[in-house]
Amino acid sequence: MATKKKTPSKKAKVPAKKDAAKGLEDLFEDGLKDLYWAEKALTKALPKMQKNATSEKLKKAIGNHLKETEGQVARLEACFKALGKKPQAKKCDAMQGLLDEGKSIMEETQIGSVRDAGIILASQKIEHYEIASYGTLAAFAKVLEEKTCLQHLLKTLEEERKCDEKLTAIADTDLNTKAID
C-alpha cells in the first residue's frame, strides 16, 4: 500500500504579531529584555534554592552566583544604556518554566543530598539556557557592532560557563553518590 506524502500546510506558518521584530536590532533588543527579566527573576529564586540546599559547597556556590547575577543585571542595564534605551524587562517564558521546574524538584525531593542533586539539576538547566542566550546575543552584538554590549555579554557568558562547571564539580565530588542511598 502506498503511503501519502504529507505536504506542509499553509497553516504551519505562524503569523507575526504587529509588533514583531523586523530586523536583527529588534531581535537583539527583545533578547536583552528577556534576559533582563530572567536575571531579575533569578535573583529572587536563588535565595530559596540556597535555603533548601544542605551541602555547604552548594550553598556557597549559590550565594556566589547570586552576587554574580546582581552584576549581570547591572551589565544588562548598561547594554540598554549603550543602545540609548531604558532598561525594560519582558517576561521570559523559558526562564519561568525553568524556575517552576526547580520549585517542583525541591517539592518532590527529600531534604538532603537528593534535594541537593535536584537543585544542581535545575540550576544547570538554567545555566545552559543562559549560556545559549548570552552566546547568541553576543553573536548578534558582534554583527551589529555593539561593542559595549558585546563586552558585557561576553563577561556574563564566561561567568555562566564557570558556574556550570562549578555545579558539575560539586555534583561529581560525592554529592551524587550520597544521593543514591
Beta carbons within 10 angstroms of residue 75's beta carbon: 18
23-178: CATH topology:
Ferritin (1.20.1260)
pLDDT value at 120 more than 80 = yes
Residue 51's pLDDT is what? 97
In 10 A of CB 99, how many CB atoms?
20
Q: Select from 125, 16, 124, 103 the least CA-distant residue to 51.
A: 103
C-alpha torsion sign, points 140, 143, 146, 149: positive
Tell me the pTM.
0.88
Q: What is the C-alpha radius of gyration for the chain, rounded to an integer number of angstroms?
A: 19
Query: Which residues, 6 or more positions from 118, have their beta carbon under 8 angstroms from its beta carbon?
Result: 105, 106, 108, 109
Q: What is the mean pLDDT of residues 6-11?
A: 62
Cα–Cα distance for residue pair 95/129, rounded to 1 Å:
8
pLDDT tens digits along 139-151: 999 999 999 999 9
CA 135 vs. chain centroid, Å, equals 11
User: Structural domain boundaries of the chain?
Assistant: 23-178
Inter-CA distances, 51 with 16, 70, 74, 113, 114, Å = 42, 18, 24, 14, 15
pLDDT digits (tens, 9 = 90+) for 76-95: 999 999 999 999 999 999 99
